[in-house]
Structure 1
Amino acid sequence: MHGERGSVLPLILVFLMIGLTAAYVLVAATSLSIERKRLLTIADAVALSASESFAAADVTFVDAELQPVLDPTKVHERALATLEDLAGASPDSVALVSASTPDGVTAAVVITGHWTPPLTHALLPSGLEITVSSDARVVLS
């Protein structure tokens, strides 16, 4: 009985380390998820803005309906300008990978950003590149 004295303290320390590690990984995963959703929201806004980059002269009649025709250059310029406006104080955190119009009525945008964990540790990578894409289609009714 005398040899079992003090054997609970190492168990408490081990479980405390496991608990803290699990909490750290959970906080980092939540941070990654929030950053991805933030980038996706920015990509949605940029794609929507780029899909509205047409002028009244760019609208044509197709099957008795008005249909705008997007210019790839205007889509890219508008996407870049909108991204610069939305990036605000941290323009280096988000970059435009591509902005195009595959069919003339849809603006397709791909952006990338960098995520770093809230605390640096050997368990997790020092950062990850996150790439998101969004499409916005022009419909006149």
Structure 2
Amino acid sequence: MLLTIFFCVLALALILVVASATSLYLERKRLFTLADGAALAAAEAWGLDEVRVDGDEFTFELDDAEAAQAANDYLDDAVHQLDGLELVDAEALDGRTATVTLRAVWNAPIDTELIPVEVPIEVTVTARSVFH
């Protein structure tokens, strides 16, 4: 009887850990998807009036402020259910590439001593804009 109780408690603890790990993984994937969209919006934050023609090539310069504003606008319009979502950094690296870093907080589905209550999640995504 004692052995059965022990294995039941162990199985419940294992189920709790697996469910929490799955929840954390899915929350990170949601944050990554949101950051991917924000990086794409930041990389596309240039207008046609900024494009210069140099022979057969089209060039443009992506600005850090424009990239950050576009990422912020995207996050304001996006529908998400992430706790503590914040834009940590949005910058244009080489005039064509935008990098966006987002941070959120994951909360355990069940509050116990085995699983921490909150875990910060941070992802960084890079997107490059190409004009043909």
TM range (shorter): over 0.9
TM superposition shift of 1:124: 1.1
**Structure 1 partner of 2:129:** 138
Q: Out of 60, 74, 77, which is 2:69 matched to?
A: 77
TM superposition shift of 1:133: 0.8
**Structure 1 partner of 2:11:** 19
Q: Out of 28, 44, 47, which is 1:55 matched to?
A: 47
Please say if 1:32 is aligned against 2:38: no
48-57 or 15-24, which deviates more: 48-57
TM-score, normalising length from structure 1? 0.88
Aligned identity (percent) is 34
Please say if 1:95 is aligned against 2:61: no
Counterparts in 2 of 1:62 and 1:11: CA distance versus 1, 3 Å: farther
Counterpart of 2:108 in structure 1: which amino acid? P
Give the Cα–Cα distance (whole angstroms) in 1 for the partners of residues 47 and 124 of structure 2: 25
What 5-or-longer segments of structure 2 have no aligned partner?
none
TM superposition shift of 1:132: 0.3
After superposing on structure 2, the runs of 4+ consecutive aligned residues of structure 1 that deviate more than 3 Å are 90-93
TM-score, normalising length from structure 2? 0.93
**Structure 2 partner of 1:65:** 57
Richer in helix (by share):
1
TM superposition shift of 1:92: 5.4
Give the Cα–Cα distance (whole angstroms) in 2 for the partners of residues 92 and 73 of structure 1: 25
TM superposition shift of 1:63: 6.3
Larger radius of gyration: 1
Give the Cα–Cα distance (whole angstroms) in 1 for the partners of residues 65 and 83 of structure 2: 23
Counterparts in 2 of 1:92 and 1:123: CA distance versus 1, 3 Å: closer
Q: Out of 110, 122, 128, which is 2:113 matched to?
A: 122
